[in-house]
Amino acid sequence: MEARGHTTAWAAIIPGVFLAGLALVLATTVFGEIALAAGTLHLRVTYKTLARLVPLAWLALLALPRARAGLPYRPASADLPLALFAGVAALSVLCGGGHWGDVRTLAAAIGIGVLARSLFGDPARQRLLLHYLGWTVVLIVARERATYADLVRAHELARYGLVTANPNVLGFLFAMVTPLFLAETIAARGPRRIAAAGYLLASLGGTLVTFSRTAVFGLALGTLIVALCCERRRQALLASGLLLAAILAAQRPDLWTHTRHAGDIDRLRIMHTSLTLAMERPVLGIGFGINNLEERFPARYEELYGTRLFRFHSANVIVDLLVGTGLVGTGLALWWAGRVGAGTWRRVRAAPSGAVRVRAAGNLAALAAIAAMSLAEPPLSHGKLLPVLFLVLAYVELPVRDEPDRDAIRGAGA
């Protein structure tokens, strides 16, 4: 009886500890670090440190039977190719590169995703993950607004004043979570719908101020997929069309896209330069990570085009994987992405009409947005984006919730 009591206490305490730890990871992702002071002791904890410590603590606890009962590992079909890809990424650095920072960051982000899948796999806690993502977006927008007073007035120069991360990285983040918030706004009722609508407005506003064309395209694609899966398809498509028209009207791309033409030409040159590096080491690449590419890219670009350009990613996720991890790593990454996408598609097809289908469509739309945006902005190259990316993937891999409409239940009871 005593052992059972201890096990029950572990099962109750451990999830709460890791919920707090994950909240701190997201807070430091937004603010960069957290300062702790106790007497003469002053400690600054960065997002990289927390993002690595939290999953490592969970892995250590899995060795203890009582702790494992409180927060067990929940496997998914995509875990095997993901683990193999991470192993090949490490092997590529061992054989070709010399910088391990991004491999450690990737491993930590994968750990956070697997932890989140286990932590929020309990139906009672599952909807909390959406709130974690929502509050991350709200905090980013609030921080940017507090830092840059002119953020509300949409103009292209605002993107250069963003402080949380690169505007293209932030645009990617906002656009990939928007379909989740949109689906929840449609599917939920009462206070949950109000909260989801607030998160949706924050992510839409955040996407606008980044002036990222990649993000706007991802947002449009995700919105379209959710609209097509709604029961009232015509109304949903009309609402989506009006939303996208409002975005275009607010941003007036005719006034600023011409300033990006030179950069678009550079993108083609960047991909070509990376491909020439990939061809020299086709099996395992030159080593996963931005530092391994940055070390070799400028000299090769100068050799090809007569000018020196510093670059830390290849402007396309496939090219980035080829140059960093070769054909082996790229094949494993595509296998992993295919497994996640196929599982999500099956859940959409099997979902009944109503809230379950809308939420499943939101998951599929988030994946589609991630895949489309990755063709211009490789997400694995951005350390701050990775924890949120793997939290979104964890959310997508969880069973789709079917929460009853409480108002309808009360009405039936009356």
Neighbours of 386 (CB within 10 A): 22
Q: Provide the whole-model pTM.
A: 0.90
Nearest C-alpha neighbor of 229 from the set 141, 380, 344: 344
Mean pLDDT, consecutive 10-residue stretches, the chain (414 aa), reads 53 86 94 74 82 94 82 92 97 88 95 95 87 96 82 66 88 95 90 93 87 87 86 66 62 55 75 95 94 92 87 90 97 98 94 89 96 94 92 94 50 34
Cα 392 from Cα 374, distance rounded (Å): 15
pLDDT given for residue 407 in this prediction: 40
pLDDT given for residue 117 in this prediction: 94
pLDDT given for residue 372 in this prediction: 95
pLDDT given for residue 28 in this prediction: 92
